Amino acid sequence: MGYMVSSCPHCGSQNRESCNAWGYGSPIRQCKSCKAEYFDNRWREVAVDGFDPRSNNSKLYLFAGIGSGALSAVMGLWVWNSIRTSGSYSIRAAGLAVLAALVCVMCLVMFVRIKSGYEEKAQAPFLEESRQRLQDPVYVRKLMQYGVRVPQEFQPKDEG
């Protein structure tokens, strides 16, 4: 779970909201201070915009996992060689080796999640929530007023 911080265009106050990793949800936000409504395009209405392409790109995570694994191996060998030849090592090099190894593991876990279909199942509730919001014609009209191209299937019948 992460957070997004936005500045209200009406009163300037900072609004901190918890969000999922990809910012799936309604782009129409309400200021916690002045209660004014505003549009934040960092939020993604997935039934309209689709899921973030990176969230389902298994090749991206595979190549990032391989790259960070290779970097971890190179840095690990550098640290090992430094210890073997001089008896000391760079803490930065060791830290980079560990960090790259962690990134490698995280990327490979995401790769497996995508390939196994788990990620698609995890995204399904966001799509359902989005479709539910788009059943409200008032909400759809607001999106359209903010310039969002809403698919025909969700547009109110009177605006056809």
pLDDT at 158 over 80: no
* Residue type present at position 140: V
Give the mean pLDDT of the chain. Answer: 94
- C-alpha dist (Å) from residue 13 to 6, 23, 42, 69, 72: 8, 20, 18, 43, 42
pLDDT (average), residues 2-21: 90
Q: For residue range 126-149, what is the model confidence (pLDDT) as tens digits?
A: 999 999 999 999 999 999 999 999
Handedness of CA 139, 127, 108, 53 (dihedral sign): negative
At 17, which helix (H) or strand (E)?
strand 14-19
**Rounded to whole angstroms, how far apart are CA atoms 90 and 92?**
5
Residues 97-121: pLDDT tens digits?
999 999 999 999 999 999 999 999 9
Q: Cα dihedral angle (100, 103, 107, 108), rounded to 10 degrees?
A: 60
State yes or no: pLDDT of 61 exceeds 80: yes
Please report which confidence band the pLDDT of residue 60 belongs to, taking 50, 70 and 90 as the band edges. Answer: very high
pLDDT of res. 1: 63
Per-residue pLDDT tens digits for 42-57: 999 999 999 999 999 9
Q: Residue 150: what residue type?
A: V
pLDDT of residue 160: 46
Q: What is the pLDDT of residues 63-95, one digit of tens each?
A: 999 999 999 999 999 999 999 999 999 999 999
